[in-house]
Structure 1
Amino acid sequence: MKEIWTIIGAGMGGKGLAAQLGIDGLRLRIHDVVDAQVAGIRAAGGLHVEGRDKDFAPIEMATTDLAAAVKGASVLLVSTYGTVHEQVAQQLAPLLEDGQAIVLIQGHFLGAAGFRAALDRAGCKARVDVAEMDGYPYMLTVKTPDRVLLTSIKEKWSLAAFPMARTAAVLDRIGPAFPGLGPASNMLETAFADLGGIFHAGGIITNVGRVEGEGDYNFYASNMVPSVCRLLVAMDRERIAVATAFGAKTVDIAGFLADTYLFKDMTVHEALQKMAVTHYRYAPAPKSLEHRYLVQDVMCGLVPIADFGRLAGIPTPTTHAVIQIANALTGRDFLAEGRNVQRLGLAGKSIADIKSMVAH
C-alpha cells in the first residue's frame, strides 16, 4: 500500500496541492476546520481537475476530524495561513506519531522553527520532522468547492528543515512529488525568499480604492503599474540588505521572476504584467483589507524583515512605511502582532546566535 499524505487546510493552497498530488497518484486525505471547505470534496470523492491530462484527483478522506486525518499518515502538508501556524501546531501536538514529516507550504519566515517551538510548548512527544518551503509551487484557480483549474508549476523553489540536518531526509521523502524543489542552505534563506510581503502588501496599500471598490480586477495587471513597481524595488533592496547582514543568500525580485517563471531580460514591471496574463490570469484579486495579501503578508513577511533589520542596525524606512500605512488602514498594530524577534523567541539573541540556531 502506498503511504498516506494528509493536507491540512483546504483553502486555495490546500485544494491546489490535493488536485496536483491526487492526479499524480498519491493517497491523500484533506482536513479543514470549516466543513464547507471539504464537504464538496467528500461528496465527490475527490476534486475535479481542469488543465491537466487527468480530470479527477481521488481523495480518500475529506474531514473536519483532525485526529482521523492525521492517524497513520506519513506526511502532513500544512497549507494554512502563517498567522495560524502556532494554533495548528498546538492542535497537532497530541495527535502526532513517530516518523511523521510536517511540511509547511509555505513557511512564512522561520515558520518551521516557530512550529517546532509550538509543538514543544504543547508537550509533543512524537519524533517528527518539521520543514518549510519558501513558496507555494502551483498557480491555480478554485472554480467551485470541488473543482480546480491548474495552470502552471514554478520552475524552482526551496525547502529547509528545522533542524537543518534533517533537510536532506525530508527532501528525499517528498522531493519526487515536487519537481523543482531543492534544498536551501539554511532556514534564513527560505525566510528571506518569501516575497509575498513585497508583492502583495505593496500592491494593496497603493490600490485601496480598487480593493474596496466595486467590480473584479486582475491584481497584477491592474495594480503593478511602473510607480508601484518602483516601490516594490525599494522594499526589495531593504530585504536584501537585511538578509545579507544575516548571511542569507537571496536574489532580487527581478532574479526571482526570472528563476521562478523564466521571465528573463525584463524589467520588474514587464515581468509582472506578463505574469498577470499567464500564470495569474484567472486568480481572484483581494476585495477586502482583511485579505491574506495584506494581513498575513505584512505580519509574516514585512514585520520580520523590519525587526531583523532593527536588530542588525539596517535601516528599512520603506518597509516601515508600508507597515505603518497598513496599520492606519486597518486600525491594527502589525509590528506588535506580527512575527517580530520577540514572537519568534529570538529576543536578546545576536546575529551570530540566530545564524547558529538556523544552521544547527
Structure 2
Amino acid sequence: MTEPAGQRHRVGIAGAGAIAFASAAWLRQAGHTVTLWSPGGQGAEALRKRPLEAGGVLACRVSVEVADDAAQLCQAADVLLLALPVNGHRRVMDALLPFLRDGQMVIVSSMASLSSLYLYENARQVGLRITVASFGTTVLTARRESATLVRVMTRRQAVGVSALPGGDVGKVLDLCTALFGGSFFAQDNTLASALANVNPQSHGPLAVFNWTRIERAENWPQYHCMTPGVARAIEALDLERRAVARAFGLELGPIEAHFARSFGTASARLEDIAAELHAKRGGPPGPVRTDTRYVSEDMPYGLAFVEALGRIAGVPTPATRTIVDAASLVNGIDYRQQNDLLAPLGLAKETVAGLLARL
C-alpha cells in the first residue's frame, strides 16, 4: 500500500457496510482523515467510542469520525466516497446535493445504471461544478463481521475509473492513486464504467439457478456452485453485455479477463476459473437471504439496465431478459420497475448519440 508523499486528504464516506468500513480502514492506515456517515441510521454508531478494526489482507486498528448527517459529512470532507448499495444511490445523492461545494470530488464505488451521471447532471442544474469519478468495481472486497470489525479479503490488482466531466480523468487518477495506491486505469467514459462491472452477469445466474439453496439458507460455496451449466448462462449474459457496449462504441474485455485482472486467475474457461477460485478460497459463501443484492441490486440496476441500453441501440438481449424474468417470477417482484434511475435519466427516450454526448 503505497502513495505519493504528502498526499493527504479529508475523505467523507457515505455508507456503513463492508466496503465503507474497509475503505475507511485502508484510508486511515494510509494517513488520510476519514469521516463516516451511515445513511440508514445507526450503522456507524459504535465507531464513535471504539476503534475500527480490520483483518485479512489489511490488519489495523484506526479511529474514524462519525457524521450525524449529510451536511456534516460534506462539511468535513474535500473528497466524498459513496460506498453503499446502488439501490440507495439516488436517495443518498439527493441528500448530499444541497451541501456539496464547488470543486469537491465525489467517487462512486461502485457505480451502476449511470448513477454518477444522475448526480453530475443534478449538480450542474443547481450551478455546482463538481467532479464525479466512477469505479466499475470496488477497489477492495470485504465482509463486515461486527459493529467495529471488517475483514478485507482482496485489494484488486487493477481498477478502472472514469470521470464527469471527462476531461478531469487525469486528476481523478492522481487522486485515486493518492488514496488507495496504484493500479488504476482510465476508462473511456462513465458508461464504460457501468458496463465493466460484471457482477450482474455473474450474480444473476448464480442466484436464479441456486435459488432453493438461498430460500433454505443453506451454506453453499458460490464458486463451487458455478457449475459448467451456470457458467454457460453467465457467458451468454456476458456476450450480450459486450454487444451492447460495442453499440455505444466501447470494446470491453470478456468476463474471464475481469477475473484474471481482479483475482490473478490463470484458467481460460469460466468454469475452470470458478474451480480455481474455489480451490484457492473455499468460497465465498453464496447469499442466504431472498433479498440478497444479487437480485435486489443486480437485477434492476445491472441486467435491466443492460436491457434498457439494448433497446436504445437495437441490440437484442434474450439471455439477459430470461434471467430477469426468472428472478421476477420466483420473487413475485418486477425488477424492471425497481430501478429508480432510468426514468429521471430519461433513457427511454434517449438515442445512442444523445447519451454519448451527455457523457
Distance 2:164 2:185 in 1: 15
Deviations 1:11-44 (A, max 9, x none): 1111111122222221101110344311222221
Is contact 1:89–1:119 with CA below 8 Å preserved after alignment? no
The RMSD of aligned alpha carbons is 2.1
**Which residue does the alignment assign to 1:135?**
137
The one-letter amino acid paired with 2:309 is F
SS in 1 for 2:106: strand
Deviations 1:300-341 (A, max 9, x none): 110111111122221111100001111112222222332675
**Which residue does the alignment assign to 1:26?**
32
Range with greater deviation from structure 2 (346-355 or 180-189): 346-355
Deviations 1:281-307 (A, max 9, x none): 4x4531222111111111111011111
Is contact 1:139–1:280 with CA below 8 Å preserved after alignment? no
1:153 aligns with 2:159: no
1:149-188 aligned within 5 A: 149-178=151-180, 179-188=182-191
Is contact 1:211–1:287 with CA below 8 Å preserved after alignment? yes
| 1:104 alignment partner, one of 102, 108, 125 | 108
Distance 1:53 1:199 in 2: 27
Is contact 2:101–2:130 with CA below 8 Å preserved after alignment? yes
Distance 1:201 1:57 in 2: 36
Structure 1 342/143 Cα, relative in aligned 2: closer, same or farther at 3 Å? Answer: closer
Is contact 1:298–1:334 with CA below 8 Å preserved after alignment? yes
Is contact 2:136–2:193 with CA below 8 Å preserved after alignment? yes
Is contact 2:113–2:341 with CA below 8 Å preserved after alignment? no
The one-letter amino acid paired with 2:326 is I
**Which residue does the alignment assign to 1:200?**
203
1:305 aligns with 2:306: yes
Range with greater deviation from structure 2 (46-55 or 262-271): 46-55
Which structure 1 segments of 5+ residues have no match? none
1:309-324 aligned within 5 A: 309-324=310-325
Structure 1 204/352 Cα, relative in aligned 2: closer, same or farther at 3 Å? Answer: same
Cα distance, 1:342 vs structure 2: 4.0
Structure 1 279/109 Cα, relative in aligned 2: closer, same or farther at 3 Å? Answer: farther
Deviations 1:74-129 (A, max 9, x none): 100001111221111111111112221111001113221022234456x4x44321
The one-letter amino acid paired with 1:306 is E
Range with greater deviation from structure 2 (301-310 or 326-335): 326-335
Is contact 1:109–1:194 with CA below 8 Å preserved after alignment? no
Is contact 1:304–1:340 with CA below 8 Å preserved after alignment? no
1:326 aligns with 2:327: yes
Distance 2:326 2:121 in 1: 31
Range with greater deviation from structure 2 (270-279 or 175-184): 270-279
1:191 aligns with 2:194: yes
Structure 1 31/319 Cα, relative in aligned 2: closer, same or farther at 3 Å? Answer: same
**Which residue does the alignment assign to 1:56?**
61
**Which residue does the alignment assign to 2:253?**
251
Is contact 1:35–1:63 with CA below 8 Å preserved after alignment? no
Cα distance, 1:53 vs structure 2: 6.4
**Which residue does the alignment assign to 1:69?**
73
SS in 1 for 2:177: helix
Distance 1:218 1:157 in 2: 25
Cα distance, 1:193 vs structure 2: 0.5
Distance 1:83 1:277 in 2: 33
Distance 2:219 2:67 in 1: 32
Deviations 1:332-358 (A, max 9, x none): 222233267544323333212222222
Distance 1:343 1:35 in 2: 26
Is contact 2:13–2:82 with CA below 8 Å preserved after alignment? yes
Is contact 1:139–1:279 with CA below 8 Å preserved after alignment? no
Distance 1:73 1:66 in 2: 11
SS in 2 for 1:242: helix
Deviations 1:116-143 (A, max 9, x none): 234456x4x4432112100011122222
**Which residue does the alignment assign to 1:261?**
263
Distance 2:197 2:102 in 1: 30
Distance 1:177 1:155 in 2: 15
Distance 1:346 1:172 in 2: 32
**Which residue does the alignment assign to 2:347?**
346
Distance 2:231 2:99 in 1: 45
Deviations 1:172-220 (A, max 9, x none): 2232223211111112211210111111111101111101114333222
**Which residue does the alignment assign to 1:15?**
21
TM-score of the superposition, structure 2-length normalised?
A: 0.91
Distance 1:261 1:253 in 2: 12
Distance 1:214 1:334 in 2: 22
**Which residue does the alignment assign to 2:3?**
none
**Which residue does the alignment assign to 1:210?**
213
Which structure 2 segments of 5+ residues have no match? 1-5
TM-score of the superposition, structure 1-length normalised?
A: 0.91
**Which residue does the alignment assign to 1:286?**
287
**Which residue does the alignment assign to 1:87?**
91
SS in 2 for 1:288: coil
